[in-house]
Amino acid sequence: MADPIRWARYRWQRLISTEGREGSSSSSSNKCYQSSKTTGKHRIVIPCLGHFKEEYEKVSKLYMNNQIRTTKYTLLNFLPRNLFEQFHRVANLYFLFLVVLNWVPLVEAFQKEITMLPLVVVLTIIAVKDGLEDYSKYKMDKQINNLLTKVYSRKEKKYIDECWKNVNVGDFIRLSRNEIIPADMVLLYSSDLDGICYIETAGLDGETNLKQRQVVRGYSEQVSEIDPEKFSSRIECESPNNDLSRFQGFVEHSNKDRVGLSKENLLLRGCTVRNTEAVVGIVVYAGHETKAMLNNSGPHYKRSKLERKVNTDILWCVLLLILMCLTGAIGHGIWLSRYSEIPFFNIPEPDGKSIPPTLAGFNMFWTMIILLQVLIPVSLYVSIEIVKLGQIYLIQNDIDFYHERTDSTIQCRALNIAEDLGQIQYIFSDKTGTLTENKMVFRRCSIAGQEYCHEENAKRLESYQEMDSEDEDSADHQCGSLTYRSKWRGHNCRAVNKPLNRRSLNQLSGSYPALVREDGAGDVPHSGHVAFSSPIETDVVPDAQLLEKFTQISSRSCQQSEEASSKLSLETTYITDFFLALAICNTVVVSVPNQPRQKMRHSSLGRMPIKSLEEIRQMFQRLSVRRLSSSPLPSVKESSSESPNSFVSKLSIFRMKLASPALDGAAQRAAEHHNTDSPEESQVPQELDMVNVAAGCERNSAASSIELSPLPKLCYEAESPDEAALVHAARAYKCILQSRTPDQVTVDFAGLGSLTFQLLHILPFDSVRKRMSVVVRHPVSNKVLVYTKGADSVMMDLLRTASEGTNNSEMEQKIKERTQKHLDEYARRGLRTLCIAKKVMSDAEYAEWLNHHFLAETSIDNREALLLESAVRLETELTLLGATGIEDRLQEGVPDTIQALRKAGIKIWMLTGDKRETAVNIAYACKLLEPDDRIFTLKSQSRDACALVMSKILEGIQKNTSASKKNSQKLGSVSASPSTQAPGFSAGLVIDGRTLEHVLHDSLQNIFLELTEKCRAVVCCRATPLQKSIVVRLVRNKLKAMTLAVGDGANDVSMIQVADTGVGISGQEGMQAVMASDFAISQFRHLKKLLLVHGHWCYTRLTNMVLYFFYKNVAYVNLLFWYQFFCGFSGTSMTDYWILILFNLLFTSVPPIVYGVLDKDVPAEILMQLPQLYMMSQKSVAYLPSPFWITLLDAFYQSLVCFFVPYFTYYGSDIDIFSFGNPINTAALFIILFHLLIECKSVTWIHTVVIVGSILLYFVFTLAFGATCKTHNPPSNPYWIMEKHMTDPVFYLVCLLTTCVALLPRYLLRVLQGTLFLSPVLRAKHLDRLTPKEQREAIKRWKDDCIVNCRVEFQATSGSSSSATGAVSEGESIVSVLPTSKAPLQACSRHGLVEDTSFLPDIQDESGTTNGLNSEKNVFLNSAKKTNSDTFGSNNSCTKVSMCASEEGSSAVSLAHKAGLNSVLCEEDALMYFTKSECCLKPKSSNC
């Protein structure tokens, strides 16, 4: 019962449960390690064919086959094992102890068998539950084990159907499209010509986007399928582990050549093959050794706060029990010692002697424990479990959590912490995807230092805001069947199809959709849904200015495409490169919408007009290479030791496309109808599509010139939504990503036609580098290009330095500065920024780098580090092209939710990896920070500085709060405000990731927490996943606060796991967060109801039920205790043992459960409207120590009444024991049930039925028992007692009186509470009584009161704060950036009303580097807003006041302003001081 014990038990259980599952596997793999001495911890996989047969037989026995067994029990071991496990529960052990105790004759209190009853019942219930669970697992296993797959059979020399369970390591498996992969296998063949296989990992991590897998190098060139008979290589790889993102190993061919294997070559069990006709692989891990199975860690176990409290209270009960038993023991001893000789009612021992009083007393202690055992509410545990299940059931069925668009509702993954939702004090929220939609929308870009602000695009987004809720329904299915609303055609720049057209397309394009649906939809409900492609994301309206420039390039390049690039001006080169980078520098997969997941690809016989003979020659060259390498045994040597030279020869620089004349003509005809310059009209004429489809080939490749590009409907599936947004943006400028294969990318570039880039390398994104790069060979210039995109903080450092002093570099410097300015501005608007850069490499440079890279790629150990190093080596000396700003809109209802949660007394922290400006702006937008808040920014380089800054801030805050307190005292009328923190003072804290590191250091934790407690919101930006979890752990452990972490992505997983309650948002970024979470919701706003309503309900329900349980048991057991005073403490029970046991098990067990599941103190609507009510449960009001003790006191009182009223009534009469017990017991039943009725806040028919049913059951049982049981129950004799009592009026009179007297105080207490000391909850309950209109008014009045209170406080604060820091307040001007999700709106004032930073520490580092604190005060000024909105309304432009400050200038000014401070220290990328003198007003016109 004590925490450590439970914990230990849990660990132990985990150990046990994993033993069975993995016991055999680990032992076998251990053996395997021993046997393969040469390879250490690697495993060797050999096909069971040919000349390996002997070795295969030796090795294969060591590996598990593919049969899985997830069940815990077998038929034989179920009973012993289940019992064994159940007895790890302390409660059960306690019961067992009692049972055993009862078998000791000396202390035996009950009949031996009876004590076993509760234990047996509890064990049976749990065993049945476990058994059913296990049985369904068994059925599931059987179903999976018996799935069929094609395995190569040596005997029949072909692939035959085999059950999954018969698959062994080393088997060759052939899978077709949409088949599920039965075991982890290395991909050896793919019908895809590029050796690619697409898999969908939804079954593994829930991510719906496709992942590419590649055939092992050396096998990809084969044309025909691999022949297992001729496979003569052996595979060495790691021993099984659970890291999904890692796989290392190599293939060793018969000639000792080794080819490295990576996760790109591994097909994981549980994934589905998509878009690939056939694949062949060799199994390397099977069954429980597969990564999927090893990742199956089982459900996680969390214990709720309430449960912990219950445990302490149970300890109190144990103490009480011991006290009572001691009383009994001592009493018995005293009672015995009173008699000089043995009285004849005290039975002597068999030897005729009586035992001494002390020993008798000792024995009596144990007897009493048996007798009073019910005091420890063991049924409480079972009841709590059941109640929680009921609560979870109701949460899951709440229709408000249903999200229409994704057809998803809440998932409760942890079953036992629902009540924790009612006690949350801190919410840690991710930003992207959690607060925001994670629908990345391209907003603006800056190319070569020139900004293009995309006004039209902004307008489009605005209008989407209102409409998208209805429109995105269709958006989600857009790849399947599109029915675009005509109203969007106006500014859709993508092709819009008419439904008719679509339908005909589907008909013509064969059965793919049906096929996919057939077996794809079955297991993946969202297979039709493609991530990141709602119209809001895909439709980008090009900026007019930029488009104009772009068309210039296009037209020029049309005329002289060959040497276009060289002749174009520098700016146009930038623009071209910029868009090429957008289109290429990504990992987007292209597919055609009407054939979901069907990759767009071009056969090697392209359809492009032949441009030159040279190209034809190259084409044939390539084809011949293919042919040559298509021998069954691939030329391993060549491919495995690729040298740069052979590499170049292998290149196909151009992938040409041959268009059929008919198609071309049709397209041309069609194109005449529209003008592509205006995107609005870029609508595909119907006939064109028809013709294209009729021709039976992909339409989108039909066009070769800008005139003919019909902007085909392509689906882009990207790993991150930013990428998709950028590709869509590029596409809006007719720079269309057409297809992507592992070694080439085709871009339909408006001016230059289809360009096929040889894709040399992709250096994928990682969080360390914060960038990704692609290395391509430019088709025209034939140069090796590196396109890099990444976060500006890292990118800016990688740019080519201006050391050369040339003209170019000067310009580059200028571009860099201006771009940085734009980037800062984007960030202030809450946009996500990315820098785009490029680098041109010479062949020699490239070859050198490639050499290194190749080494890195092929090494088995330490490969990741080497690859990283290699990537870093490449990404230097970049030329900045430009930057993009992508908007991530707030989710629906986020500000409202945050405000409500705020009012509920929950502190919300935002932990994001984004940069500070973006984070702060989102925080403003979602009302996390209020315009009136004082913002402190923590940004320091060293720990000491950090400490100093924090203490300064604290000082300041304390000064403020004390001042405001005084003020509020003066005002007097302000009473307890809902918020617990310093009244009226609201501060926000913004911390940078690097500073966070210092702050989280042990020495600073306390001051940091003290500081954060004073702030209403904390924003941590640039936080790594690890930091996120550390922050959560810190708050959780140090402040002992209930924490909730909410996030949607893999980077939030650690935080979600650390928090008391983890909430995952099943959004765009896959299921990892959901998998780790306790609750998964689809929208952030659902958090409001989840916490405010369900959290409140679950908490109050459970606490009340738990309290009631304690009350019930104490009250009932005390009846027995009081009786001991009248039976010489001999342990007699005046109630029949059966009824005694059944009283808890049967007669009074269901009502509390119903109460715990269904009680409703305040209706949902009112809880939603008055978040303040949440604070009641948050502060554990219902379950503080005092209610517990009051409940126990009440229980004592009631038991006293219940015992002594009958006692006095029957005193001195001829009543016998069990007749005396009967009215007591009956009265106790009524008292206990009616007590529940008093405590019930709402009584439904279910309550009524259950309570009436319980009473009836009791009477029926006792009557039946009394009528039948003459002799069957030896110690007690209930025979005919109830019957006799039922005819006795005294019985009724006693029951009536007892019940009334016992319940009177509780009833009176409730009445007085309801009249005199109204708690907010009660008041809210009264609201429910009112008519809707009155209710509305009352709620409004309630709210208004709060607001008035707050206002008074605010005024007090602002007054005081300005007086406190007035010295520096003059002349400072503040910029307030208030991004709204709708429009860019920036407010500015030249004369700030409120002062700027007040706490500037005078810190000077010894090293001379500058440390600084910049605390800025962002004030939203109403006046500014007004002016702004005026201008905004009139000319559709944003009036922007840009504050620029050079570092010197600002420090100078600051020095001037902040007299008394020695110096102002700025960091290199610290924010600027916005001072009046430095402010340059830059009104922006519509043409930007």
Within residues 311-340, the interface with other proteins by CB under 8 A covers 339-340
C-alpha span between 816 and 839 (Å, rounded): 15
Query: Would you say 242 or 254 has its CB closer to other proteins?
Result: 242
Binds other proteins (CB under 8 A): choice among 9, 650, 1241, 1382: 1241
HSE-up of residue 411 (Cα within 13 Å, Cβ side): 17
566 vs 298, 448, 556, 559, 779, CA distance in Å? 61, 17, 12, 14, 14
Structural contact between residues 327 and 369, judged by C-beta atoms closer than 8 angstroms: no
Binds other proteins (CB under 8 A): choice among 93, 322, 389, 648: 389
Q: Does 113 bind other proteins (CB under 8 A)?
A: no
Query: Given the rule CB under 8 A, which of 231-239, 382-390, 1032-1040, 1255-1263 is the region that contacts other proteins?
Result: 382-390
Structural contact between residues 668 and 542, judged by C-beta atoms closer than 8 angstroms: no
C-alpha span between 1301 and 1309 (Å, rounded): 13
Binds other proteins (CB under 8 A): choice among 40, 661, 1212, 1332: 1212
Which parts of 254-273 interact with other proteins (CB under 8 A)? Answer: 269-272
Q: Does 1351 bind other proteins (CB under 8 A)?
A: no
CB of 718 vs other proteins, minimal distance in Å: 21
Instruction: Give the position of tokens 């092992």.
Output: 216
Q: Does 1293 bind other proteins (CB under 8 A)?
A: yes
Structural contact between residues 516 and 424, judged by C-beta atoms closer than 8 angstroms: no
CB of 380 vs other proteins, minimal distance in Å: 16
Binds other proteins (CB under 8 A): choice among 34, 54, 245, 352: 352
* Binding letters toward other proteins, positions 410-449, x by CB under 8 A: -xxx-x----------------------------------
* Binding letters toward other proteins, positions 70-109, x by CB under 8 A: x-x------------------------------------x
Query: Would you say 1250 or 1294 has its CB closer to other proteins?
Result: 1294
C-alpha span between 59 and 170 (Å, rounded): 10
Binds other proteins (CB under 8 A): choice among 3, 407, 614, 1430: 407
Query: Would you say 580 or 1075 has its CB closer to other proteins?
Result: 1075
Q: Does 1215 bind other proteins (CB under 8 A)?
A: yes
Which parts of 179-218 interact with other proteins (CB under 8 A)? Answer: 180, 182, 202-204, 206
Q: Does 1246 bind other proteins (CB under 8 A)?
A: yes
Query: Given the rule CB under 8 A, which of 112-120, 890-898, 1172-1180, 1241-1249 is the region that contacts other proteins?
Result: 1241-1249
Which parts of 17-46 interact with other proteins (CB under 8 A)? Answer: 17
Binds other proteins (CB under 8 A): choice among 167, 324, 841, 1240: 1240
CB of 766 vs other proteins, minimal distance in Å: 24
Q: Does 1307 bind other proteins (CB under 8 A)?
A: yes
Q: Does 362 bind other proteins (CB under 8 A)?
A: no
Binds other proteins (CB under 8 A): choice among 228, 956, 1221, 1379: 1221
Strand intervals (E) in 1048-1093: 1061-1065, 1079-1081
Kindly give, in sequence order, each residue whose CB lies less than 8 Å from that of residue 343, ignoring residues fewer than 6 positions away. Answer: none
List the catalytic residue out of 171, 184, 430, 914.
430
Query: Would you say 545 or 1277 has its CB closer to other proteins?
Result: 1277
Which parts of 919-978 interact with other proteins (CB under 8 A)? Answer: 973, 975
Strands 744-749 and 735-741 turn out to be: antiparallel
Q: Does 1480 bind other proteins (CB under 8 A)?
A: no
Q: How many residues bind other proteins (CB under 8 A)?
A: 155
Kindly give, in sequence order, each residue whose CB lies less than 8 Å from that of residue 355, ignoring residues fewer than 6 positions away. Answer: 349, 363
Q: Does 1285 bind other proteins (CB under 8 A)?
A: no
Which parts of 1331-1350 interact with other proteins (CB under 8 A)? Answer: 1334, 1338, 1341-1342, 1345
CB of 349 vs other proteins, minimal distance in Å: 7
DSSP letter assigned to residue 240 = P
Which parts of 810-839 interact with other proteins (CB under 8 A)? Answer: none
Query: Would you say 260 or 520 has its CB closer to other proteins?
Result: 520
CB of 1173 vs other proteins, minimal distance in Å: 12
Query: Would you say 893 or 1320 has its CB closer to other proteins?
Result: 1320
> What are 159's strand-pairing partners?
152
Kindly give, in sequence order, each residue whose CB lies less than 8 Å from that of residue 554, ignoring residues fewer than 6 positions away. Answer: 706, 734, 750, 751
Binds other proteins (CB under 8 A): choice among 30, 136, 801, 1485: 136
Strands 266-267 and 184-190 turn out to be: antiparallel
Q: Among candidates 924, 1005, 997, 1007, which has minimal Cα distance to 958?
A: 1007
Binds other proteins (CB under 8 A): choice among 19, 57, 133, 1370: 133
What secondary structure does DSSP assign to 1402-1431, as a single string? ----TT--------------HHHHHHHHHH
Kindly give, in sequence order, each residue whose CB lies less than 8 Å from that of residue 1118, ignoring residues fewer than 6 positions away. Answer: 1195, 1196, 1199, 1200, 1203
Q: Among candidates 1094, 1024, 936, 996, which has minimal Cα distance to 430?
A: 1024
* Binding letters toward other proteins, positions 1056-1075, x by CB under 8 A: ---------------x--xx
> What are 840's strand-pairing partners?
785
Q: Does 1037 bind other proteins (CB under 8 A)?
A: no
> Tokens at residue 333, please?
């001893």
C-alpha span between 1055 and 767 (Å, rounded): 17
Query: Given the rule CB under 8 A, which of 96-104, 399-407, 674-682, 1404-1412 is the region that contacts other proteins?
Result: 399-407
Structural contact between residues 320 and 375, judged by C-beta atoms closer than 8 angstroms: yes
The values of phi and psi at residue 116, to 5°, are -75, -20
Structural contact between residues 873 and 399, judged by C-beta atoms closer than 8 angstroms: no
Which parts of 1390-1429 interact with other proteins (CB under 8 A)? Answer: none
The values of phi and psi at residue 202, to 5°, are -55, -35
Kindly give, in sequence order, each residue whose CB lies less than 8 Å from that of residue 553, ignoring residues fewer than 6 positions away. Answer: 564, 568, 572, 575, 576, 750, 751
Q: Does 473 bind other proteins (CB under 8 A)?
A: no
CB of 1047 vs other proteins, minimal distance in Å: 16
C-alpha span between 337 and 330 (Å, rounded): 11
Query: Would you say 854 or 1307 has its CB closer to other proteins?
Result: 1307
Query: Would you say 78 or 402 has its CB closer to other proteins?
Result: 402
Which parts of 513-542 interact with other proteins (CB under 8 A)? Answer: 521-525
3-class secondary structure, 1090:
helix
Binds other proteins (CB under 8 A): choice among 2, 104, 140, 148: 140
Strand intervals (E) in 342-474: 411-412, 426-429, 436-447, 450-452
The secondary element (H helix, E strand) that includes residue 213 is strand 210-214
Binds other proteins (CB under 8 A): choice among 1213, 1477, 1485, 1487: 1213
Q: Does 242 bind other proteins (CB under 8 A)?
A: no
Query: Given the rule CB under 8 A, which of 494-502, 883-891, 1297-1305, 1416-1424 is the region that contacts other proteins?
Result: 1297-1305
Exposed / middle / buried, residue 696 (Cβ in 10 Å: 0-12, 13-18, 19+)? exposed
Query: Would you say 633 or 1246 has its CB closer to other proteins?
Result: 1246
Query: Given the rule CB under 8 A, which of 462-470, 586-594, 750-758, 1209-1217 is the region that contacts other proteins?
Result: 1209-1217
CB of 1327 vs other proteins, minimal distance in Å: 5
**1469 labelled catalytic:** no
C-alpha span between 815 and 448 (Å, rounded): 6
Residues belonging to the active site: 430
